[in-house]
Chain A
Amino acid sequence: MLRVTWSNFISDLADFSAIRLSLWTSLTAALFALLFGVPLAWFLSKSQGRAAEIIRPMVLSPLVLPPTVVGIALISLMGRNGLLGRFIYDQTGWSMPFTSVAVVFTGIFVGLPFIILICESNFRQLPKEVEDAAIIDRANSKKLFLEIALPQSRSAIATAAILAWARAIGEFGATLMFAGSLPETTQTWPMLIYQQLDVDVDSAYALSALMLIVAILVVILLRNPLREAFR
């Protein structure tokens, strides 16, 4: 990082489209991971049945799988010949690989495990007395979730959101396999760094330095505001 000559920093960044792409796709991915993952984490924390024992490992699997395998899994699911992808292609002529949607989808896939891990653990640790009191007052499951559990989970949700976002923006291998790499559409910030390493090393260093700064700033600055936002 010390190699970055700050006077050339902006010109070394070369091209902002990869940075823009990474920022909007990772934020969108984190948002959808939250929308889908927080209720799912609630369900898993309350579930007694077999369903949870099957769903939980499936959702958490991207954590332990190498990026290539995650990429293969995504292609098997949403590729042109994939389980779901084949059906969508036959009906609409659209397929997910090589689109920006694929970048977001991959981000959701790899960010979701963090949401589930943090939020399920959080929901399990909420004080039972508050919930029991609400049940006595005839609160249904939806009310319990929205009005009792969520307000107590601001910190956990904020942390989960940041982690999911961080994971999505740093995602490389699986995205490369599933979405490919095309400037403007699917070439993300990490992919541009990878490419520039062999082409213009100064640019690679500048892009990396900027990513490091953004990552640190996000964690420092957003933790408390996010927690408050979920109040």
Chain B
Amino acid sequence: MASLLFYVLPDANASKSLTVFAPSSLTTFLTPVASSYESTHPGVRIEFSFSASTTLSTQIKSGAPADIFISASPMEMIGIARGKNFVSNRVVLAIPKSSSITKMTDLNQTITWIQCAFEVPCGAATKAALRYENVMSKPVSLEPKVSNVLSKLMAGEVDAAFIYVTDVLANKDKLKAIEFKNMKAASTTYQIARLKKTEIASDFYRYLRSKQVINFLLSKGFKPS
């Protein structure tokens, strides 16, 4: 009976736990990065909170206990910390592989399409890049998180969606992408900041900014910042 308690009480070794707030577009990429770090640093447990950068920023300002914060654009760092450029990403028009859409202006036909809300980095980049395109139709929804946009596209609920190129690459067996004319306007620079000056936070922060991790992210479609 006493031994059962060991499953319930926190492991004394894993008393070193780290909380990282990161944008939802980094979910599939940071999770394996953290796992490999945990395997080489026994006793350290990394916990993520993935959400829209604006939500994370509000939470941190309200006192949420984040050790490291990664935002999908410099805007959300303002008022929190001095962020360092991390990697950059760009928004593309994503369509199912079987789609007959070949260019942006095809959206003006009766196509159901969605994008992120303008307040989040992904939506802001979409809005900026769309200025250079001749798209007259409107989206049927402005989703608060890019992961919502992706899941609706993958579920077949919409014909097209503006998501990050990294999301398309992560699902390249089902999706294909059409680029914006102005790829710079469609880009967003992620920033990273260490919020707590502890040893484990500093160590993981250095690891995240290391060549090894950056190269891994570049291989997944991110670009250098």
Give the B-binding residues of A (Cβ under 8 A): 75, 79-81, 97-98, 176-177, 179-183, 186-187, 194-195, 197-199, 201
Which residues in B have their C-beta under 8 angstroms from that of A201? Answer: 58
Contact, CB under 8 Å: A181 / B144 = yes
CB of A204, distance to nearest CB on chain B (Å): 9
Contact, CB under 8 Å: B119 / A198 = yes
Which residues in A have their C-beta under 8 angstroms from that of B171? Answer: none
CB of B56, distance to nearest CB on chain A (Å): 9
Contact, CB under 8 Å: B140 / A182 = yes
Q: How far is the CA of A79 from the CA of B155 in the complex (A)?
A: 9
Q: A181-B117, A195-B117, A197-B58 are in contact. Are A186 and B141 (CB under 8 A)?
A: yes
Contact, CB under 8 Å: A195 / B143 = no
Contact, CB under 8 Å: B112 / A98 = yes
- Of all chain B residues, the one with the shortest Cβ separation from A191 is B144
Mark out the residues of chain B between 132 and 172 whose CB falls within 8 Å of any chain A CB in the assembled complex: 139-144, 148, 152, 155-157
From A181, A187, A198, give the contact of B54 (CB < 8 A). A198
Contact, CB under 8 Å: B119 / A98 = no
Q: How far is the CA of A111 from the CA of B54 in the complex (A)?
A: 31
- Of all chain A residues, the one with the shortest Cβ separation from B156 is A81
- Of all chain B residues, the one with the shortest Cβ separation from A185 is B140
- Kindly state whether residue B57 has any CB partner on chain A within 8 Å: yes
Q: How far is the CA of A201 from the CA of B156 in the complex (A)?
A: 35
Q: How far is the CA of A182 from the CA of B139 in the complex (A)?
A: 8
The 10 sampled A-B contact pairs (Cβ below 8 Å) are: A81-B156, A81-B157, A180-B152, A182-B139, A182-B142, A183-B142, A194-B144, A195-B117, A195-B144, A199-B54
Beyond known contacts A181-B142, A182-B142: 17 more, CB 8 A cutoff:
A75-B155, A81-B155, A81-B157, A97-B140, A98-B140, A98-B141, A180-B114, A180-B140, A180-B142, A180-B143, A182-B139, A182-B140, A182-B141, A194-B144, A195-B144, A197-B55, A199-B54
Which residues in A have their C-beta under 8 angstroms from that of B148? Answer: 176-177
- Of all chain B residues, the one with the shortest Cβ separation from A80 is B157
- Of all chain A residues, the one with the shortest Cβ separation from B57 is A198
Contact, CB under 8 Å: A97 / B119 = no
Contact, CB under 8 Å: A181 / B156 = no
From A177, A179, A198, give the contact of B55 (CB < 8 A). A198
Contact, CB under 8 Å: A176 / B112 = no
- Of all chain A residues, the one with the shortest Cβ separation from B76 is A198
Contact, CB under 8 Å: B58 / A198 = yes
Q: How far is the CA of A141 from the CA of B157 in the complex (A)?
A: 43
Q: How far is the CA of A199 from the CA of B148 in the complex (A)?
A: 19
Q: How far is the CA of A196 from the CA of B190 in the complex (A)?
A: 23
Q: How far is the CA of A97 from the CA of B143 in the complex (A)?
A: 13
Which residues in B have their C-beta under 8 angstroms from that of A186? Answer: 141
The 9 A-B pairs with the shortest beta carbon distances in the complex, nearest first, are A180-B141, A198-B54, A98-B140, A198-B58, A81-B156, A199-B119, A182-B141, A98-B141, A79-B157
From B119, B139, B140, B144, give the contact of A176 (CB < 8 A). B144
Contact, CB under 8 Å: A195 / B156 = no
Residues 40-57 of chain B: 1 if any A CB is under 8 Å from the residue's CB, otherwise 0? 000000000000101101
Which residues in B have their C-beta under 8 angstroms from that of A79? Answer: 155-157
Which residues in A have their C-beta under 8 angstroms from that of B142? Answer: 180-183, 187
Q: How far is the CA of A168 from the CA of B210 in the complex (A)?
A: 49
Which residues in B have their C-beta under 8 angstroms from that of A194? Answer: 144
> By CB atoms of chain A within 10 A, which of B139, B155, B157 has the most?
B157
Q: How far is the CA of A179 from the CA of B157 in the complex (A)?
A: 11
Which residues in B have their C-beta under 8 angstroms from that of A182? Answer: 139-142
